[in-house]
Every structure is written in C-alpha cells, then in structure tokens.
Structure 1
Amino acid sequence: MAKHEVTLHINGEDRTLVIRHADTLLDVLRLQCGLTGAKPGCENGDCGACTVIVDDLPYKSCIMLAIEATGHAITTIEGLENSPVQRAFARCYAFQCGYCTPGFIMNAHAMLEHATSIDKPTIQEWLESNICRCTSYEEIASAIRMALSTMNATFPDDCERDSLST
C-alpha cells in the first residue's frame, strides 16, 4: 500500500509523518507520535476512549483517517497539560480504572469551550458520546461542574454529587 508524507499540527507543533491513506488518526497518534492518551476501545466510534479535539471540536480518532486531519489543529490529552478539567477529574475522583478518562476530559474540555449554557441536561447530553464501564457518571459530572466553577464561578468549588437523571 502506498505511503504519503503529511504534516499534522498536533498539540501546537507540526509533525511530518509518513502514513498510509487507511491509517486512522488514533493509530498515527499512538504508534508514530507516541501520544498514547487516546485509547483504542471499541475502534468503531461508540465508546469515546479515543476522543481528541480537532479544530476545537471533539472527534473520535478511531474513525477519523489521519489524512483527513491534515490542515487541522489536533489536540490530544497530552496537549491539555494541567487543564482545569484534568485537575477537577483528579480532585473529584472522576475515574476508576482510568482507561476512558482521557476521552471524557477531551469531551468535557470541548463542552466547556463551546456550550453556551452548561446545566445538568447539557452535561448529560455531552457525556452521552463517551462510555465508562467502571464508575458512575456522577463523579464525572461533578468534575465538570468543578472545572466550570474555576472558569466562571457558576457552580460551587466542591465535588458535590447529584444524580444526572432529570
């Protein structure tokens, strides 16, 4: 299969890589760039463990071809170093095994950047694209509210848990 040289803009820097047209962004990030935060889960776009941000929106890198990412800004969990969302996930213990956590953090980061109003239904809607098989979503929702509070003081700065069900 033919290989092509492309330049991908990942976490603020350009990386020139040799890829096949069939290579997924997930595989290129993990195998060629050593960025292993995005995880292979279902590898068909259902679980969200591989979520990255492309041009400020969350994408599942297991179903995006790397060649499609040419000319776009890609941010991985490694590019969000010490973000308010990461700190809140740690403080609220919003993880158990941690496998899905990077995908949830990426999705939550995008939500906090783009959603015009963030309430329980908004958080629930954004979380629907990621699956955690180990823990409840209450801690994850609490972490998102805490991250939001550090950004604009909308919610209290604690990990108060309440049900996402409406």
Structure 2
Amino acid sequence: MTTRYISFTLNGRAVTASVQPHENLIDMLTTAFGLRGARESCGQGLCGCCTVHVDGQAVSGCLFLADMAEGTRIDTIERLGGADGTLDPVQQAFIDAGAFQCGFCTPGFVMMVKTLLADDPDPSDDTIRHYLSGNLCRCSAYPEIVAATKLAARRIAAEGRP
C-alpha cells in the first residue's frame, strides 16, 4: 500500500501524519495522535459518535478519509475547554443537565451541538431534535440532551460568546 504524508492543523497546532489510502479520519486520530474522544461505532456515518469538525463543519470521521485532511483544520472534543481545565459551556451544560449515561456518544453530541449553536444561537426544541437526528444515544438521554443544548445556548448568550 502507498503511504502518504499529510499536513494539517489539529486542535490548533500544525501536524503531519502518515496515512494509508483506505484509512479513515477516526483511525488516524486514534493511532497517530492518541485522541480517543471521538469514537467509531457504526462505521457507516449513521450514529454520530465519530463527529469532529473539519474546517468548522461537523463531519462523520468514520466516512472522512484521512487523506482528505491535507491542508484542513481539524478540531476534536479534546480541543474544547480551557487550558486550565475549565469546560466549554456545551460540555458543562451536558454535565449539569445529566445529558449522558454511558457517555459513549457524548463527544459526538457535544461537537454537533457546538455546530448547531454556531448556526442557530437560540434553537427551538424541534430545531435541536432535527439537527441532532444524525446522532444516536443508546441510553435514550434525548430529553436531557435537548435540555443541555438549550442551557448551553442561554449560557453562551449570557456570556456574549459566539
């Protein structure tokens, strides 16, 4: 197989990785960089557990070929929050609303909620449900996830954050 070296920005820093033509983004993030927040579950882009941001857009990392990361900006759940350990408002809202049980899907939901709130800072319940319809929670924490999204939106608006 042909190994290719790609360069991109990962969580704010320039990096280079060796990738295979068939390798997906999640596998590369895990093996080359030890990032395990986003997880592959279905491998078909149906569950949202592998959601990461590529150039500011939420993507299914299991469907995004690592080779396509050349020259992009990739942000994962590990980038959220402060260097001092403070959590991002969305992460804190998930905790405060109890919007998870096992936590397996939580990073994907958090990343998708970040995208939603960037697109719509004051979403309705229907908008939240529609936007998150591509993310699955086996523990059925959906009411709490909607509540966490609304809580995060209120907090972000109160702080004057984008």
Question: When the two structures are superposed, what TM-score results if normalisation uses the length of structure 1?
Answer: 0.89
* Deviation by residue 1:31-74 (Cα, 9 ceiling, x = unmatched): 11101000110011000000001111110000000111211111
| Partner SS for 1:18 | strand
Deviating runs (4+, > 3 A) in structure 1? Answer: none
Partner SS state of residue 98, structure 1 = coil
Q: How many residues align?
A: 153
Secondary structure in structure 2 of the residue aligned to 1:88: helix
1:68 is aligned to 68
Could you tell me how far 1:116 is from its partner in structure 2? 6.0
For the residue of structure 1 that corresponds to 2:64, the secondary structure is coil
**Residue correspondence of structure 1 range 100-139 to structure 2 within 5 A:** 100-115=105-120, 117-139=122-144
Q: Secondary structure at the match of 1:36?
A: coil
Q: Name the counterpart of 1:152.
A: 157
Deviations 1:101-144 (Å, cap 9, x if unpaired)?
A: 00000000111111265111110111101000113300000000
RMSD (CA atoms): 1.1
Residue in 1 that maps onto 2:101:
96
Percent of pairs with identical residues: 39
Does residue 12 of the first structure (1) align with residue 12 of the second (2)? Answer: yes
Aligned residue number for residue 54 of structure 2: 54
List runs of 5+ in structure 2 lacking aligned partners: 82-86
| 8 Å CA contact 2:50, 2:108 repeated in 1 | yes
Mapping for residues 9-48 of structure 1, pairs under 5 Å: 9-48=9-48
Tell whether the 8 Å contact from 2:91 to 2:110 is kept in structure 1 after alignment.
Answer: yes
- Paired residue for 1:140? 145
